Amino acid sequence: MQTRKKLSQPTDRLQIHNFLLEDDRGENGREITAGLTKPQKRLPSKYFYDAYGSWLFERICDLPEYYLTRSELAILRKKSPEIMGFFNGDGGDLVELGSGSNRKIKILLDAVAGDGLRRLRYVPVDISDNALEEASRELLYAYEDLDILGVIADFTRHLEVIPAGRKLITFLGSTIGNFSGPERLSFLRQVAAVMKPGDRFLLGVDMLKSPELLEAAYNDSQGVTAAFNMNILRNLNRSLNADFHLEDFEHRAVFVEEKERVEMHLKATRATAARLADLDLEVSLRPGETIHTEICQKFSRDRARWDFQKAGLVALEWLTDPQGWFSLVLLKKARVAVVGAASRGMEGA
Ligand code: SAH
Ligand code: AVI
């Protein structure tokens, strides 16, 4: 077994690469314009996450109503040695998509036995540059044997930047639920495409449960989720030279039963208009009209399995909390069906 020699200076153990390109600015502008000119106005939820939005999300994680983080942490605390057993002996990359803060990854890192961290590299991938840099630096000092490759990127566009070696990819928090059905499938297919047969993918999914619990989780009594929702407009005002009047909007989060998802909207309480100067775009809303800001899909095992199958992934294990509210699904890449194997009984998994 080969051990990599560690460099002694913390700064030698941390590299941060920014893959957010000038091209992305143009693409983002087109995406925002397209969303705000639809009959049902829509904004992609990635625009929540400037530095303040990332901070607000961390406050959401501590809310009594937001059971998701507590449930997932409980699973991680119990199962982290088993999960990190993947690296035993060989080392490799622990990739975290949409990494945010460190609270979950620390539980996994703490479960690595002996000098295992020396053979491991942590690769957080996030669009929120400040949050990623801050979190990476904190880890650098907390784990003196760990190498970190921070990747500032949009995981819907730049998944090819994930290192090609042996890896465990994690995507926690049920961020997968923030995609629409087609976006989710496209994302899962991209993850499968960057995986090799021995790699593993650990995916957090929030399970379907009572509408009361779900709606409470997105309508907290302290108004933190409302502030998080509103931050999408604050972020556009700052980054695109826009002038949305925040006081003309209110937070709405409802469980849409037939779609098995919570939808977050910003509802205009009166007629209001905004100009997004950098996009040369004017937007107006009637009283009661909404901007749809987030999808929070909730999953049955069947729905999730269906997505995995279509994306070429196979669930090896479902790890759940005692209430069965949240699941961490350990996945591998499906074996590719051999062309012409149909007559011999083609196998997809
Ligand atoms: N994984 C953490 C954070 C979840 S919040 C947890 O489970 O608590 C969602 C995270 O995904 C945020 O850190 C946000 O900045 C990041 N994110 C959202 N959209 C993204 C995108 N398109 N590309 C990269 N990161 C994104
Ligand atoms: C990041 N994501 C999984 C959160 C969720 O629950 O869908 C974002 C969030 N939106 C409102 N509260 C939390």
Condensed to tens digits (0 to 9), the pLDDT of residues 210-229 reads 999 999 999 999 999 999 99
What's the whole-number mean pLDDT along residues 174-187?
98
What's the whole-number mean pLDDT along residues 183-189?
98
| Protein residue with its CA nearest to atom 11 in ligand 1 | 98
pLDDT score of 339: 53
Given pLDDT bands bounded at 50, 70 and 90, which one contains residue 21?
confident
- To the nearest whole number, what is the mean pLDDT of the chain? 93
C-alpha distances (whole Å) from 345 to each of 206, 306, 334, 341 are: 34, 20, 15, 6
Name residue, tokens 């999808």: 295
What is the torsional sign of CA 30, 32, 34, 36? negative
198-213 b/e (C-beta count within 10 Å ≥ 16 → b): ebbbbbbbbbbbeeee
| Protein residue with its CA nearest to atom 16 in ligand 1 | 98
| Protein residues with CB under 6 Å of any ligand 1 atom | 46, 49, 54, 57, 61, 98-100, 104, 126-128, 131, 154-156, 172-173, 175
Given pLDDT bands bounded at 50, 70 and 90, which one contains residue 346?
very low
Q: Is a pLDDT exceeding 70 seen at residue 1?
A: no
pLDDT score of 9: 56
Contact, 249 vs 227, CB < 8 A?
Answer: no
Given pLDDT bands bounded at 50, 70 and 90, which one contains residue 24?
confident
What's the whole-number mean pLDDT along residues 301-313?
97
pLDDT score of 43: 98
Mind listing the pLDDT tens digit for each residue in 28-80?
999 999 999 999 999 999 999 999 999 999 999 999 999 999 999 999 999 99
> Which atom of ligand 2 is found nearest the CA of 296?
7
What's the whole-number mean pLDDT along residues 240-254?
98
Q: Is a pLDDT exceeding 50 seen at residue 81?
A: yes
pLDDT score of 337: 54
Task: Give this prediction's pTM.
Answer: 0.94
Q: Is a pLDDT exceeding 50 seen at residue 290?
A: yes
CA of 307 to the centre of ligand 1 (A): 20
CA of 23 to the centre of ligand 2 (A): 27
pLDDT score of 110: 96
CA of 97 to the centre of ligand 1 (A): 7
Share of the chain above pLDDT 90, in %: 89
CA of 100 to the centre of ligand 1 (A): 6
What single-letter amino acid sits at 187? F
What's the whole-number mean pLDDT along residues 249-270?
98
The full DSSP string for 23-35 is HHHHHHHHHHHHH
pLDDT score of 240: 97
| Protein residue with its CA nearest to atom 8 in ligand 1 | 173
Q: Is a pLDDT exceeding 70 seen at residue 173?
A: yes
| Protein residue with its CA nearest to atom 6 in ligand 2 | 296
> Which atom of ligand 1 is found nearest the CA of 132?
13
Q: What does the alpha-carbon distance between residue 101 and residue 113 come to, in Å, rounded to a whole number?
A: 23
